[in-house]
Chain A
Amino acid sequence: MLLGDAGTATLLEKTDDRCDVMTFGGATYGEGFRSVYNCYGGFRHHAAKGAERMDDIEVFNFILTYAPQAIREFWTHTGTGLEDYDCYALHQASLFTLKQLSRKLKIGMDKIPLSLARYGNTGPASIPVTLVHAFGEHAEKKQMRTLMCGFGVGLSVSAASAMLDTADILPMVETEEYFDDGILEGATG
């Protein structure tokens, strides 16, 4: 019910403009890895096939503890604060989680764009998918101070900021194209 599929591409360029891009405050929480994982298909449990496992309560606790901490540390580290960002592009874990983060950090929901209702939680793609969903069709050009924060499988959390120009955020592309490597048809040797 929660997860969706998507792919994204971001172009990063070196510029002379001053911008606090990619200042990093990462945290990894390796002991909690059992909370979100797929135990089959890798080399630890090779043979069997099983479903992805997600311990909702533990992940929820993790997010509500570490994501606000990462964002606060990020503010402190960069000498910025709540009001210095026009947009908080957060990983789209669930609407409830995002509302809790908004409440804990006192970030108005008007600053937190959402893409969940349309695309679900698209995992690593969810932050760029959200930016595309919110601003991809925007006609007007707008400079936007953006703070991004991702959290989840690992368990792992990180934050980064960037000055984004909405004119650079392109519309969503929906496609059914795929690549056929012919492995099964060409099964000769």
Chain B
Amino acid sequence: MNNAYIRNVEYYLPETILGNAELAQLYPEWTEERIVSKTGIRTRHIADSDETSLDMAEKACRVLFERSALEKQDVDFLILMTETPDYLLPASACVLHGKLDLPEDCGAFDVNLGCSAYVYGLILAKSLIVSGMAHNVVLATADTYTKLINPMDKSTRTLFGDAATATWISDTGLIEIGESVFGTRGKAYESLIVPAGLFRTPSCDETKVVRVDENGYSRCQENIFMDGADILSFSIDVVPKTVSQLLKKAELKDEDIALYIFHQANGFMLSYLQKKMKINRERFVESFSDTGNTVSSTIPIALKRCMEDGKLPSKGNIVLCGFGVGLSWGGVRLSIKDGVQ
């Protein structure tokens, strides 16, 4: 049977940076220090008004082709994970395929998932490779949540940033994609949602009315709504369970795991999970203070930074876990064979 391996990861962050000083000016009751202590985030990268997920994904993919031994004619599938596509149709992956000049015998499709997207994408890519349908898959993630956030909604504007990533997955390599577990809590979909603007509730005057909620956060129904308390309790419920199911499936113990890379939601949630799961800091990756929560891109950015900083073990296991909008989650084990770096 074929195995699937991560060969390279690259990412792109938009140029415009939003700092806490600027936010503190908008929200007089919140100081810069308060924003950092609540979120752990100092800056976020924001896509320009005419820069879309597709543009960012294209930039990340171009860096991937520049810095990898992957030839375009050898790409069998292009998968784009995004919740903020350029068009209702076609899939942004198809447009991206054309912009990147990929060969015509390359399949391309989008998947609409957010914080759990990267783990799903890795397993989709692995499935295509293991079943013999592909040798090389390019997995891109890209989201522009900031375009959906009301500027006066402190609860989300302080957290989210924009980014895109591109990962080369191949049938040869050193970082093997191993066991995985997935889950969905579909009944709780309203906890993180853009309620209106598509077919269920089309855009109308009413959906554009900005209201202030009981916490003093402003938004209309075409903006992102996040019930922070619900999402926090959801995450601290499912993440430890998912990791223990994954370890059981892989027949591993906590001490066999060299690194845990979770979805980089925010500082408060990550430090809660780290303490609750009793993972020591050396093995617990935190990489969000300069980017904020970049949704589908947080895990690959953190993984790439570990590669660059020499934090990947030369041999051993890494656990990735994504969780959020859906509500949806997934965990996967990566195992590094002798010889990487």
Contacts and interface: CB of A to CB of B under 8 A. Distances in A.
B84 A26 contact: no
Interface string B70-110: 00000001100000111111111111111110101111110
Contacts of A31: 98
Interface in A135-171: 153-156, 158
A43 B94 contact: no
B144 interface: yes
Nearest to B197: A41
Contact of B133 (A24, A33, A36, A44): A24
Given A32-B98, A33-B94, A183-B221, A158 B107 contact: yes
Contacts of B87: 37-39, 41-42, 44
Contact of B88 (A24, A27, A41): A41
Nearest to A43: B52
B84 to A, nearest CB: 5
Contacts of A40: 88
Interface stretch (B174-182, B206-214, B327-335): B206-214
A181 interface: yes
A178 B306 CA distance: 47
B19 interface: no
Interface string A1-29: 00000000000000000000000111111
Interface string A45-77: 010010010000000000000100000000000
A156 B108 contact: yes
A38 B88 contact: yes
B187 to A, nearest CB: 12
A79 interface: no
Q: Is the interface on chain A under 10, 10 to 19, 20 to 34, or 35 or more residues?
A: 20 to 34
Contact of B108 (A24, A30, A42, A181): A30
Q: Is the interface of A mostly helix, strand, loop or mixed?
A: loop
B97 A36 contact: no
B98 A184 contact: no
B275 interface: no
A175 interface: no
A97 to B, nearest CB: 19
Contact of B54 (A44, A66, A158, A187): A44
A158 B107 CA distance: 8
A183 B201 contact: yes
Interface string B215-231: 00000010000000000
B195 A43 contact: no
Contact of B94 (A154, A184, A189): A154
B110 to A, nearest CB: 10
Interface string B185-206: 0000010000110101101001
B304 interface: no
Nearest to B95: A33
Nearest to B86: A44
A153 B90 contact: yes
A183 B198 CA distance: 12
A42 B92 CA distance: 10
A183 B105 contact: no
Nearest to B77: A26
Contact of A30 (B95, B133, B195, B206): B95
- Across the A-B interface, the 6 shortest Cβ-Cβ residue pairs: A30-B98, A26-B107, A30-B97, A44-B86, A154-B94, A31-B98
14 contacts: A26-B107, A27-B107, A28-B97, A28-B104, A30-B99, A30-B100, A33-B98, A40-B88, A41-B88, A154-B94, A156-B94, A181-B195, A187-B221, A188-B211
